[in-house]
Amino acid sequence: MGAQQVRQGFVDLYGAEPEGVWSAPGRVNLIGEHTDYNDGFVMPFALPHVATAAVSRRDDGVLRLHSADVEGGVAELRLDALAPQTDRSWTAYPAGVVWALREAGHAVTGADIHLASTVPTGAGLSSSAALEVVIALALDDLFELGLKRWQLARLCQRAENVYVGAPTGIMDQTASACCERGHALFLDTRDLSQKQIPLDLAAEGMRLLVVDTQVKHAHSDGEYGKRRAGCEKGAALLGVDALRDIPYDGLDAALARLGDDDEVIRLVRHVVTEDQRVEHAVALLESGETRAIGPVLTAGHASLRDDFRISCPELDLVVDTALAGGALGARMTGGGFGGSAIVLAEASDVETLTKSIESAFATAGFTTPRVFEAVPSAGALRVS
């Protein structure tokens, strides 16, 4: 849905023009999976898919929320009644952002909001962060809070962690808030220092496909929590603040110190090698060896599948089929247990690869996946 439609939707609902319209994208993570809660490195880029919000201020302590994508009318909430983990519906995401802003001392006095999103939900493409960031940016603009993008991302993460109650890292919100068109974002999740890495695959005759398997295995949230706790245990056993502090060339020594705790050994090995893969991929992109990131992506998948153990048959099938069909590299992306995989391929191979992935899914009896090309797009912005 375009910005004009969202503006019109606001007028139809609330009977007046909004003060403005903002958008914030979903993201795909090129490399750096499950590193963001270990203070490590990630390299996402913004999708062309966005959440768009039309917003006006109110001064009476009322928050009105409406999504074009959800059945039901306008939700009306009182700001002084907002409390963490009291809302199990979608409104917890935008309300959580308002709560986090106010809790941090920012004078947000109410708002009317109507939104719509083209980011697929639950596909590992971060529709939740798009929703949070678009609201945060709109309120920052309207209430002239003067917050920096990384500060907005932190507040959105707090909204998701504390208010919604989902223990996610900082990557998704930072990607939505800070990415730039034509670039991947090399982000150090410890201090949020960042570098924009030019990424124009089309100019080099390549494409990056996103394959949304459209499956979400039920136990994913609990498994995410277990991995996170296992990483924290590893850091504690090794006497570091976070696994980020284990250098790649000190990995073998660190693993030896973990004795026979096989579970923690595998988690630590994934995180430390994954941080190294992000740095390697950045170095390759910066030296113009774009095709050479393919095997780095594929190695990332093997590590997520065998060490971190968060892949699933659908994701493995995408990767195996893509590689057998001549893709440069492929891996699952996002939290795991479903969601999406990415495939880096020569432009000339895209059609055949897409067909062979679809037919492999049909043969396996899986739901037909949704395949689209991902082009590094703009981060959050004011549309009108």
Supply the residues annotated as catalytic: 172
Specify the DSSP class assigned to residue 191.
Answer: T
Structure tokens at 23: 């958008």
Q: How many Å apart are CA 379 and CA 148, to the nearest integer?
A: 13
Strand partners, 97: none
Stretch that binds ligand ADP, among 53-61, 98-106, 125-133, 309-317 (CB under 6 A): 125-133
List alpha helices for the chain, DSSP H. 3-14, 92-103, 127-142, 149-158, 171-178, 220-238, 251-257, 262-286, 293-306, 313-324, 350-364
Task: Please give the residues from 129 up to 168 whose contact with ligand ADP meets the rule CB under 6 A.
Answer: 131
Q: How many Å apart are CA 54 and CA 74, to the nearest integer?
A: 14
Stretch that binds Mg ion, among 43-51, 127-135, 293-301, 322-330 (CB under 5 A): 127-135
Of 161 and 356, CB closest to ligand ADP: 161
Task: Please give the residues from 37 up to 76 whose contact with ligand ADP meets the rule CB under 6 A.
Answer: 67, 69-70
93 binds ligand ADP (CB under 6 A): yes
Of 128 and 220, CB closest to Mg ion: 128
* Dihedral angle over CA of 332, 123, 138, 42, nearest 10: -10
Of 38 and 126, CB closest to ligand ADP: 126
Q: How near is the Cβ of 365 to ligand ADP at its closest, in Å?
A: 25
Q: How many Å apart are CA 323 and CA 343, to the nearest integer?
A: 9
Task: Please give the residues from 128 up to 147 whose contact with Mg ion meets the rule CB under 5 A.
Answer: 128
Stretch that binds ligand ADP, among 75-83, 127-135, 266-274, 368-376 (CB under 6 A): 127-135
Q: How near is the Cβ of 129 to Mg ion at its closest, in Å?
A: 6
Sign of the dihedral through C-alpha 156, 274, 39, 87? positive
Partner whose footprint covers residue 69, from Mg ion, ligand ADP, none (CB < 5 to 8 Å by kind): ligand ADP
Q: How many Å apart are CA 309 and CA 251, to the nearest integer?
A: 19
Structure tokens at 16: 């007046």
384 is in an annotated binding site: no
Strand partners, 133: none
Q: How many Å apart are CA 350 and CA 343, to the nearest integer?
A: 9
80 is in an annotated binding site: no
Binding site for ligand ADP (CB under 6 A): 67, 69-70, 90, 93, 117, 121-128, 131
Residues that bind Mg ion (CB under 5 A): 128
Instruction: Write out the binding residues for Mg(2+).
Output: 128, 160
